[in-house]
Structure 1
Amino acid sequence: MIELSIRNIRKRFGKKQVLQGLDITLTPGVYALVGKNGAGKSTLMQILTGILSVDEGEILLNGVKIHPQDSKFSKMIGYLPQDTPIYKNFSAEKFLCYLATVKGVEKKKRLEKVKQSLEMVNLEKNSHTLLKNFSGGMKRRIGIAQLLLDDSAIIIVDEPTVGLDPKERIRFYNILSTISKEKIVILSTHIMSDISFISKEILLMRDGKIIKQGSPQHLLSELEKFVWSVDVTLEELPEIQAHFQTGAVKKVDHYVHNIRILSKIKPHEKAKLEIPELEDLYLYYLDGEC
C-alpha cells in the first residue's frame, strides 16, 4: 500500500509564510483540501506536482525521502488543473492516444489503455466524438481518463467540479471514489456538500496550516450541540447576526426568517438544536470559531 508523508513543509513567498510546517500522512483514499483563497491549498498541490520547491521539510514515499521534481516521482503523480487543456479538434480516443504517447506508454498497450480509461469514465460510446462537442462534465471526465493512462498512484485535482451541474458533479465524484481504492486522491474544493460521501478525510486549511483533520463523520460529531436554528423577525435579525456566528438565512414569510447559528450557548430562547452539516464545519473553523 502506498504511503505519502509530508513532514514539516514550509514555503515562503517574499515576507509571507504561505505554508507553516505542514505535517500529514496520506494512504489510499480521497482527501479533501478545504480552505479560503490564500490558505495554501494551491501551493501545497504545486509542491507535490513538482512545480514549486520547498524551503524546509521533506516528502517521503513509503518511508523514503523523495524530491517531487525527480522524474521517478513525477511519473507517479497525475495532476488535473481547473481548466483541462484539450485539443478541441481531436476525438476522445485520438487525444488520449496522443497523451499516452507523451506519457511513454508502450505502443502495443496504448490503445488498450485508452479504451480502459474511456470505459472507467463512462465515455467509451463517445470515443470518436470531437472534444469540441463535449459538455463541461465530459471534458472533466476526459481529464480524469488521461490520469488513468499511466497508472498514476497519486492524483491531485484542483477545484474539479467548477461549472458542472449536480448530475455531472455526482458522476465525477463517483469516478474519484472508485479509483481511490488503490490511489491517493487529493482534491481542493469549496463545495462542501460534494465531499461528504467520498472523503476519507477532510483537511481544513487556514493561514498555511492544517487546523483540523479527520473523517467527515468525526469532524461533524465535534459540532454536536453547537448548531442552532431559530425563526426571528426582520427586526431581530441584525442583532442576532451582530452577536453570533451565523449561516444560512431562509425566508419563512414576509416578516419572519429562519437563521442558522453556530454557538456554544443557546443563542435565543426559541432556538433549537440542529444536526451539523459540512457547511457548518466550514463556517465554524474557517470563519473563526464561535
Structure 2
Amino acid sequence: MELSIECLSKRFGSKIAVNNISVTLQPGVYGLLGANGAGKTTLMRMVCDVLKPTSGRILYNGKEIEQLGEHYRSYLGYLPQDFGYYPDFTAKEYLNFIAAIKGIDTVTAKKQITELLKIVNLSDVAEKKIRTFSGGMKQRLGIAQAVINDPHILVLDEPTAGLDPKERMRFRNLIAELAKDKIVILSTHIVSDIDYIADDILMMKKGSLILNCSTEKAIHSMDGKVWNCKLLQSQINEVSERFRVVNLHHEQGNEVLLRVVSDTQPMCGAVNVPPTLDDLYLYHFQDEEIRRDEE
C-alpha cells in the first residue's frame, strides 16, 4: 500500500496554499505538524479528493486518484475539523446513515456499528441523540464514521482540538489502536498529539514541506539547541527579547529557570538539555501562533 504525492500545489487566486509538495506514504502514522494557515487542511482535502490541485498529482498504488474516482474514495476514511452530523439522530442512526452512503450492506453495517460503538466507548449512549453529546463524544463518533468502511487511508484533521486532556489521551489511544495496517495522516498543531503516536513527522510552513523524517530523528535534529538558563527575575525580559523561550519556572528566592531554544549558548552558565518535539515546533514557528499542550 502506497500513497504518493508528487509536486502538489494549490493556489487560491494569488495565494499559494500548498507549494510543490512531494512525499511518499506507506502504512504508519504520519503527524502533519504546522501552525494555523500552514496549508495542512488544504493538503488533506486534496488527499481526500475533496479539492482538486492546481498542479501535481496524487497516486494510490501507482494510479492517479482522479482516475480511480469512487474506487479510491472507498479506501478513504476522513474526519474533517468540523464533521457534519444531524443533531436529532442517535449515534446508531447516524452510523447507519453513513454506512448507507458508503454502500455498506445492512448485515455488515449492523455488525460494524455494534463493534465500532464498543471501540469508541459509545455503546451505552447508542440510542441517545447526538445533540446531547459532549465534544469528546462527538469526536469519538466522528472517528467511528471515518473507519466504518475499514479504510486503507485514514485522514484526521485537527481531531483533538477543543478536547480536555483526558479526552485527548483517550482519543490518541483510540487512533493508535485503529491505525494498524493503515496509512494514517494526523494533522494538528497540538504538539503532544504527534509526540505520543506518530511514527513520522511531516512539518509544513507557509505551504511548503520543511521536514519529513521519523519522530525520533526530528527530535534529535534539535540536539545542542535547547538550553536551561538560571537567571534573576529582572533579567527575564532581556533574555526573552533575544531568544526563544519555551517555558520558565520560578524557583526559590528571586531566581528563574528558563528553557531556551538557540543555535548557540544564550548566556554564560546555560547548559544543554535533551530536546522535545515541543522545542522543535517552537524553533520553526516562534513567530506564528503556537498552541502547546498543558497536560
| TM-score, reference length from structure 1 | 0.93
Give RMSD over aligned pairs: 1.8
Which portions of structure 1, spanning 4 or more consecutive aligned residues, are displaced by more than 4 angstroms? Answer: none
Question: Match of 1:48, as an amino acid?
Answer: V
Question: Match of 1:97, as an amino acid?
Answer: N
Counterpart for residue 55 of structure 1: 54
In the TM superposition, what is the alpha-carbon distance from 1:53 to its structure 2 partner?
0.9
Give the conservation status (yes or no) of the 8 Å contact 1:50–1:68: no
Q: Distance in 1 between matches of 2:147 and 2:74?
A: 12
Q: Does 1:98 align with 2:102?
A: no
1:8-56 per-residue CA deviation (whole Å, 9 max, x = no partner) reads 1011121222222101011112111111122111110111122221121
Counterpart for residue 180 of structure 1: 179
Give the conservation status (yes or no) of the 8 Å contact 1:202–1:214: yes
Structure 1 stretch displaced more, 38-47 or 9-18? 9-18
In the TM superposition, what is the alpha-carbon distance from 1:285 to its structure 2 partner?
2.2
Question: Match of 1:52, as an amino acid?
Answer: L
Give the conservation status (yes or no) of the 8 Å contact 2:27–2:182: yes
Q: Distance in 2 between matches of 1:68 and 1:178?
A: 32
Counterpart for residue 228 of structure 1: 227
- Counterparts in 2 of 1:11-160, with a 5 A limit? 11-67=10-66, 70-160=69-159
Structure 1 stretch displaced more, 207-216 or 116-125? 116-125
Q: Distance in 2 between matches of 1:92 and 1:38?
A: 32
Question: Match of 1:165, as an amino acid?
Answer: D
Q: Distance in 2 between matches of 1:256 and 1:19?
A: 45
Counterpart for residue 291 of structure 2: none
- Counterparts in 2 of 1:206-221, with a 5 A limit? 206-221=205-220
Structure 2 residue runs without a partner (length 5+): 288-295
Give the conservation status (yes or no) of the 8 Å contact 1:84–1:139: no
Determine helix, strand or coil for the equivalent of 1:235.
helix
1:187-236 per-residue CA deviation (whole Å, 9 max, x = no partner) reads 21111112212101111101211101222211111211210011222321
Structure 1 residue runs without a partner (length 5+): none
Give the conservation status (yes or no) of the 8 Å contact 2:49–2:65: no
In percent, how many aligned pairs have the same letter? 39
Question: Match of 2:214, as an amino acid?
Answer: S
Q: Does 1:243 align with 2:242?
A: yes
Give the conservation status (yes or no) of the 8 Å contact 1:155–1:186: yes
Structure 1 stretch displaced more, 227-236 or 253-262? 253-262
Question: Match of 2:40, as an amino acid?
Answer: K
In the TM superposition, what is the alpha-carbon distance from 1:254 to its structure 2 partner?
6.6
Q: Distance in 1 between matches of 2:202 and 2:104?
A: 34
Determine helix, strand or coil for the equivalent of 1:67.
helix
In the TM superposition, what is the alpha-carbon distance from 1:159 to its structure 2 partner?
0.9
Counterpart for residue 263 of structure 1: 262
Q: Distance in 2 between matches of 1:286 and 1:67?
A: 34
Determine helix, strand or coil for the equivalent of 2:197.
coil
Question: Match of 2:10, as an amino acid?
Answer: K
Give the conservation status (yes or no) of the 8 Å contact 1:50–1:69: no
Q: Distance in 1 between matches of 2:8 and 2:26?
A: 18
